[in-house]
Amino acid sequence: MLTAYDYLFAEAVDRAGADSILVGDSLGMVVQGNSSTLPVTIEEMAYHSRAVSRGASRALVIADLPFLSYQQSREQALLSAGELMKSGCAEAVKLEGGEEMAATVEFLVQRGIPVCGHLGLTPQSVHQFGGFKVQGREQARASQIRNDAIALQQAGACAVVLECIPEQLATALSSELEIPTIGIGAGANCDGQVLVLQDMLGLNDGRTPRFVRNFLPGANSIEEAISRYVAAVRDGSFPSADESYH
């Protein structure tokens, strides 16, 4: 999986062989220049998702439910997910949260909406965490993440993104869960990996997180860089131990 926010990059990711394209609310930072994902609206997500879906002929398009577009009630989540699928042409939605969101996930799934979960460093909670910090290093938090993952699976989630958690925890979750885990900063033993496209092309404005690899050097085109990422995920050479938390 890779993120994309527009038509041409979606085409490139699709052609390069990624299984899934995430229209992440990271667009609030990468496209809009905000310091967090919090300002992103449902209309903006639908707009980008629509453009991405036009470029994706093969890969599954998953769009993020942005901050406060689903937390208020199950009905609010249904309307927001519907907007992403009807207007944004997304094929699945992603939301952040675990046990507290399980009833909402079940409600959406029962109404025909595929839902991907997101645990660990959930960026919409950045202010609660006090920054973009690795999660699950302490036993109590690791147990909470495990309970959250099981609750999402029981609620019918089709996959779960694990962001910035120790490799050991992600490995244990990946073997315990039946649904696929998709890691970002969660080590090599997840079932899949995701990166922000601009990050893996070396385009960022400041500090590069440990889990990001720049695939552009040595590639003759952006598409070749993406193909190298896809190949490295498939053969297990990305991420390395140095690109993971322990």
- The catalytic residue positions are 163
| Residue 169, token pair as written in the block | 């925890």
Residues 154-213 that bind ligand KIV (CB under 6 A): 161, 163, 184, 194, 196
Which lies closer to ligand KIV via its Cβ, residue 131 or residue 218? Answer: 131
Phi, psi of 232, deg, nearest 5: -65, -35
Which lies closer to ligand KIV via its Cβ, residue 136 or residue 139? Answer: 136
Question: Minimum CB separation from ligand KIV for residue 199, in Å?
Answer: 9
Question: Minimum CB separation from ligand KIV for residue 198, in Å?
Answer: 10
Kindly determine how many residues on this chain lie close enough to bind ligand KIV according to the rule CB under 6 A.
12
Question: Minimum CB separation from ligand KIV for residue 168, in Å?
Answer: 20
Among the listed residues 22, 61, 62, 113, the single contact to ligand KIV using CB under 6 A: 22
Taking contact as CB under 6 A, which single stretch among the options 21-29, 145-153, 216-224, 225-233 is the one that binds ligand KIV? 21-29
Residues that bind ligand KIV (CB under 6 A): 3, 22, 24-26, 64, 118, 161, 163, 184, 194, 196
